[in-house]
């Protein structure tokens, strides 16, 4: 799962950074992965994995999935409840577990 504080942040900063990283690994949109703008996920062709995209505006929407990895972008602008709610989701069996939190300092 990848989170951002708002859809504005997700579209303007988080997704461009994610797509840039995909390019660095040689992944091509619509060949290696699909991002239908009407859904909150990225589908990977080879592995059939799904990368969930969520905002932290409603922390209760982060409940439920069993995840191996979570990246909270701009965590400083997310409510603490979003962090508290998302930590227990890092529990997918058979995978190493990673939680990454990035932020930009005020200034």
Segments of the chain scoring below 70 in pLDDT: 107
The secondary structure of 30-55, three-state, reads CCCEECCCCCCEEEECCCCCEEEEEE
Q: Global pTM?
A: 0.91
Q: What is the pLDDT of residue 106?
A: 75
Q: What is the pLDDT of residue 37?
A: 80
Q: How far apart are CA 1 and CA 90, in angstroms?
A: 10
């Amino acid at each position: 799962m990848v989170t951002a504080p708002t859809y504005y942040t997700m579209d303007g900063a988080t997704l461009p950074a994610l797509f840039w990283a995909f390019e660095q690994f040689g992944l091509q949109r619509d060949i290696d992965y699909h991002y239908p703008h009407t859904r909150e996920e990225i589908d990977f062709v080879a592995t059939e994995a799904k990368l969930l995209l969520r905002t932290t505006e409603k922390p209760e929407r982060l409940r439920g999935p069993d995840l191996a990895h979570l990246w909270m972008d701009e965590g400083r602008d997310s409510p603490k409840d979003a962090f508290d709610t998302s930590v227990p989701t890092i529990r997918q069996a058979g995978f190493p577990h990673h939680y990454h939190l990035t932020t930009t300092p005020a200034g």
